[in-house]
């Protein structure tokens, strides 16, 4: 938004300055995932999802998976494919 600031000194002289504060650029990023696979004894292994470092915004970035706590770690292990 736009804001006007007024300044008055001890002698009554005044000045003003207009300032516009803009919204930050929207944060955008991408992610990649390894497919689920089975190990030698046919047990399903987890998939790893890695969030790429955002190309906008301001570092440092933190990440959250499924509403969990935010952390600086960009790779999350997914144990279940949701089926």
What pTM was estimated for this model as a whole? 0.58
Strands 31-33 and 37-38: unpaired
Answer with the residue of higher pLDDT: 17 or 81.
17
What residues does each domain of the chain span? 25-83
Closest CA to 78 of 31, 42, 11, 16: 31
With beta carbons less than 8 A apart as the criterion, state whether 81 and 47 touch: yes
Average pLDDT over residues 49-70: 91
Q: What is the DSSP string of 13-65?
A: -EEEEEEE-PPPPPP---EEEPPPEE-TTSPEEPEEEEEPPPSSS-S---B-S
* Partner residues linked to 33 by β-bridges: 49
Least confident of 63-67, 71-75, 77-81: 77-81
């Amino acid at each position: 938004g736009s804001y006007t600031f007024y300044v008055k000194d001890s002698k009554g002289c005044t000045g003003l300055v207009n300032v516009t504060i803009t919204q930050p650029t929207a944060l955008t990023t991408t992610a990649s995932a390894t497919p689920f696979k089975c190990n030698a004894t046919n047990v399903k292994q987890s998939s790893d999802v890695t969030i790429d470092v955002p190309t906008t915004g301001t570092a440092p970035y933190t990440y959250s998976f499924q509403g969990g706590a935010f952390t600086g770690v960009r790779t999350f292990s997914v144990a279940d494919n949701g089926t």
